[in-house]
Amino acid sequence: MTDAARGDLLVVDDLIVEYPGKGFRAKPFRALTDVSIRIGQGETLGLVGESGSGKTTLGRAVLGLAPVTGGRITFEGEDISHASRKQRQKLSRDLQVVFQDPYTSLNPAMEIGEILAEPLTIQGIGPAESKARIKELLDHVNLPSDALHRQPREFSGGQRQRVAIARALALSPKLIVCDEPVSALDLTTQARVLDLFLQIQQDTGVSYLFVSHDLDVVRHISHRVAVMYHGEIVEQGPASQVTVAPQHPYTQRLLLASPVPDPDRQEVRRANRRRLLDEQKNPDLVAAAGS
């Protein structure tokens, strides 16, 4: 209860996720090891890491889409590590998701109106009320109201991602898990969708667990940042610190690996990165030089 008292919306303690191995008596595959994060009201926690680092798995575990082997996930003081489908249904009012691929996250056979109505109908909201709410949502994500009777394939990637965001917003949730929501988008589209995420947070006070492989994206949108590497969190702290002056060697490498759009600054960064790699390869040498 102390967590809730501190105003934390989501608390993950020592989470372990293991997928059963393929084949009979195969060793299970451990995707997450002792992961702990917390997200406050109206706060964005950026989760950054490379492919296979477990960042997506953490988001899926919070959503009940990955098996929790150990540890605890608490949402508003309630243990949801092994929530049943019924509990999830109740939980879905407050906990929602936006996935990476806007092409497969919307059912191609359904109209936009049906897609947006689905979460409302599950909660027993009547057709008239849900229709009004859907109009409001489309307006909120800057989509025309005639989108209602169209199918997902009639929209561009950025527009589809707006539909997915509208679906997540339908029940005015407290936390949205965003799994690489801008990675499949073009640069200019990415900028507009990031603006939308920020705008929504300003308007509604929603919290985000924002998963991305791109340190720049995470720096731009997060209050705090956690860095994942091989299924563990190696560094966690305020965005301004983790994404600018990181402590952990992996985060340092990550920061310097991303090229900047200026040939001269990039040359400097390249040199810094080389130096860092050398230092990390020969820590003794550096220690000797430092003393």
Partner 1 sequence: MTEPVQINASTATLARTSVFKRILKNPMGLFAIAVLSIMILVAIFAGWIAPFGENTANIGKTLAGADSVNLLGTDSAGRDTFSRLVFGAQTTLLSALLCAAVAISIGLPAGLIAGYYSGPFDSAANWVVNVLMALPGIIVLLTIRAAFGPSVWISMIAFGILISPGYFRLTRTAVQSVRNELYVDAARVSGLSDSRIITRHIFSVVRAPIIIQTAIVCGVAISIQSGLEFLGLGDPTVATWGVMLSEGFKNVYLTPTLLLWPALAIGLAVGSLVLLGNAVRDALEDREKVTVSKRNDPPTVALQMQRGPRKRTASVEVGTEKHLVKVSHLAIGYPQANGTLKPVVNDVSFTVDRGEVLGIVGESGSGKSQTAFSILGLLPPEARIISGSIQFDGEYTVAPGEDIVNQSRLSELRGKRISYIPQEPMSNLDPAYTIGSQLVAPMVKVLGISKAEAKKRALKLLSDVGIVDPARTFGAYPHEVSGGMAQRVLIAGAISCEPDLIIADEPTTALDVTVQAEVLDLIRDLQKRLGVGVILVTHNFGVVADLCDRVVVMQAGRLVEGGEVREILGTPQDPYTITLLDSMLENKTPMTMLVSQGGTKS
**Residues 109, 194, 10, 40, Cα dihedral to 10°:** -150
Grouping H, G, I as helix, E, B as strand and the rest as coil, residue 177 is strand
Sequence-ordered alpha helix ranges (H) in 38-123? 55-63, 85-91, 112-122
Which residue from 6, 27, 82, 90 is in contact with partner 1, where contact means CB under 8 A? 90
Give least dist CB 4 to partner 1, A.
22
Which residue from 184, 211, 233, 242 is in contact with partner 1, where contact means CB under 8 A? 184
Which residue from 56, 81, 130, 190 is in contact with partner 1, where contact means CB under 8 A? 190
DSSP annotation of 200 reads: H
Binding of residue 25 to partner 1 (CB under 8 A): no
Residues 6+ apart with CB under 8 A from 184: 100, 101, 102, 103, 157
Determine the distance from the C-alpha atom of residue 157 to the mean position of all C-alpha atoms in its chain, rounded to a whole number. Answer: 18
Binding of residue 23 to partner 1 (CB under 8 A): no
Site string for partner 1, 60-89 (x = CB under 8 A): x--xxx-------------------xx-xx
Which residue from 14, 136, 186, 203 is in contact with partner 1, where contact means CB under 8 A? 186
In contact, 41 and 207? CB cutoff 8 Å: yes
Binding of residue 55 to partner 1 (CB under 8 A): no
Restricting to residues 109-128, which ones interact with partner 1 according to CB under 8 A? 109, 118-119, 122
Which residue from 159, 169, 175, 207 is in contact with partner 1, where contact means CB under 8 A? 159
Of 214 and 232, the one with the shorter C-beta distance to partner 1 is: 214
Which residue from 9, 47, 148, 217 is in contact with partner 1, where contact means CB under 8 A? 217
Tokens of 97: 């998701």
Binding of residue 262 to partner 1 (CB under 8 A): yes
Sequence-ordered alpha helix ranges (H) in 209-262? 215-221, 239-242, 249-257
Of 76, 60, 81, which Cα lies nearest the Cα of 13?
Answer: 81
Of 260 and 285, the one with the shorter C-beta distance to partner 1 is: 260
Which residue from 31, 95, 148, 227 is in contact with partner 1, where contact means CB under 8 A? 95
Binding of residue 216 to partner 1 (CB under 8 A): yes
In contact, 147 and 112? CB cutoff 8 Å: yes
Which residue from 12, 32, 61, 97 is in contact with partner 1, where contact means CB under 8 A? 97
Residues 6+ apart with CB under 8 A from 125: 133
Binding of residue 153 to partner 1 (CB under 8 A): yes
Looking at residue 139, its amino acid is D
Binding of residue 158 to partner 1 (CB under 8 A): yes
